[in-house]
A and B are shown apart, each in its own frame.
Chain A
Amino acid sequence: MKLLGLFNYWVFAVLLMIGLYALISKQNLVKKIMALAIFQSAVFLFFITMSRVDGGTAPIIQAGVSGQIFSNPLPQVLILTAIVVGISTTALGLAIVVRLNEEYGTVEDNEILAMDRES
């Protein structure tokens, strides 16, 4: 039971490292951006995991009901805004990749580096 309660953290660790691995080993820049998104999602999962309270509910107060337990609203606020900032950075990264593709005709980082060295 105690171990099952840690499962979320293990998934966080595995997802984070899948993202990092892909970021290091993949040479396709679009793939790298997706890897960054996975890495980012893992952090979101970690924060939201910490916000949960047993027997709690989403932090919205119902009129006339007292003694409710609420999950922690603070990590939720942080992650809510982080998701929107995440999509903005993804879009910016993607725009850079599109421009690179127009200049170099490829989105593989090793080919781009090789072209740079030649010139």
Chain B
Amino acid sequence: MTTLLIGIFLLSLLVITAIAIVRSEDLFSAVMLSGIFSLLMALNFFLLDAADVALTEAAVGAGVATVLLLAGLKLTPPTEAKGRSVGKLSVVVIAATTLLMIYASFGQPTLGDPMAPTQQHVAPWYIEKTPELIGIPNIVTAVLSSFRGYDTLGEVFVVLTAGIGVMFLLGGGRGKPFSRLDSDVEEGLSGHLIPKVMARLLIPFILLFALFIQFHGEYSPGGGFQAGAIFVAGIILYSLVRGEGLALSVIPPRVLLWMSAGGALLFGSVGVIGMLMGGQFLEYSVLADNPVTGQHIGIIVIELGVGLTVTGVLLSIFHAFAARD
């Protein structure tokens, strides 16, 4: 009951924040509000037992997305022009659809109903079979990387494609993805004492936490997607405080591109190796004599691939925005 009430409180805050985002004419405050929105969303996910998703939303939504929007805002006008008059028809349509969806909700099973159709279909099979077939405690990771490895491979390529798209739009030409980042290197916030000291204290722990999330993802909430996002957050903090140039000398653009493509390639090649060893594409059981050990090896390697791609792509995107004037 308490959880339900806390949930209702958080969801109400979520709606208020969303309205504030839409209403605010100052885009800077809208971006900040969208960070708060993501954080509230992460709390809601956590309340709804989705620890992995909450971690992802907090790292990606509240962390990386906010920074990217700010980086975009640096290059576009900071305020919204006075809005055009809203057509009455669109308000009516929106209101009617909202009411219709609320009306339809009365046919939905209530929150947490164990008899809901969602809980009856294939979910019990995955929960029951994971210990036996995969042998890792985190069922979300097991489904993500083994049972539904195809999906995840697809998602990794979507991320890679988006990264390539951003490089095409904002990059500076062949072999020089961030070429506009020339001699005039900004010093970042290094003139300010408090951010500098705080960042120096925080960055090693952020990076360490990212590695923990990456390699402990089978046993606790975590995995390649979250680890990549957290790692990127750490490096972005470094480049905000010490300047772009230093961050790029730590991880050069060439390395970033290799990470993006190499991660996806690593993932795909695990699948191909499985085929060469007599199994099917992305079947990890054949990778070792013991099927469960094979699953472990496969999952660790593909999670590494996911982590590399996410880190490479998100960091490349950040640098591509930051390098633009």
CB pair A74–B112 under 8 Å, yes or no, is no
Q: How far is the CA of A51 from the CA of B111 in the complex (A)?
A: 9
Q: How far is the CA of A72 from the CA of B110 in the complex (A)?
A: 15
Among A7, A11, A22, A110, the residue within 8 A (CB) of B22 is A22
Q: How far is the CA of A34 from the CA of B60 in the complex (A)?
A: 14
Among B116, B138, B321, the residue within 8 A (CB) of A94 is B321
Which of A17, A55, A87, A111 has most B Cβ within 10 Å?
Answer: A87
Q: Is B75 an interface residue (CB 8 A)?
A: yes
**Chief secondary structure at chain B's binding surface:** helix
Closest to A102 in B: B75
CB pair B21–A34 under 8 Å, yes or no, is yes
Would A72 and B65 be within 8 Å (CB), given that A15-B15, A85-B159, A89-B162 are in contact?
no
CB distance from A42 to the nearest CB of B (A): 9
> Which B88-112 residues have C-beta < 8 A from chain A?
90-91, 94-95, 97-98, 101-102, 105-106, 108, 110-112
CB pair A54–B114 under 8 Å, yes or no, is yes
Closest to A89 in B: B162
Would A87 and B112 be within 8 Å (CB), given that A27-B83, A80-B144 are in contact?
no
CB pair B56–A84 under 8 Å, yes or no, is yes
Q: Is B76 an interface residue (CB 8 A)?
A: yes
Among B7, B97, B110, B314, the residue within 8 A (CB) of A87 is B314
CB pair A73–B126 under 8 Å, yes or no, is yes
Would A27 and B84 be within 8 Å (CB), given that A52-B112, A80-B56 are in contact?
yes
B-to-A contact residues, CB < 8 Å = 4, 7-8, 11-12, 14-15, 18-19, 21-22, 27, 30-31, 34, 37-38, 41, 44-45, 48-53, 56-57, 60-61, 64-65, 68-69, 72-73, 75-77, 80-81, 83-84, 86-87, 90-91, 94-95, 97-98, 101-102, 105-106, 108, 110-114, 116, 118-119, 122-123, 126-127, 130-131, 137-140, 143-144, 148, 151-152, 155, 158-159, 161-163, 165-166, 169-170, 219-221, 223, 225, 228-229, 310, 313-314, 317, 320-321, 324
A-to-B contact residues, CB < 8 Å = 2, 4-22, 24-28, 30-31, 33-35, 37-38, 41, 44-45, 48-63, 69-81, 83-92, 94-99, 101-102, 106-108, 110-111
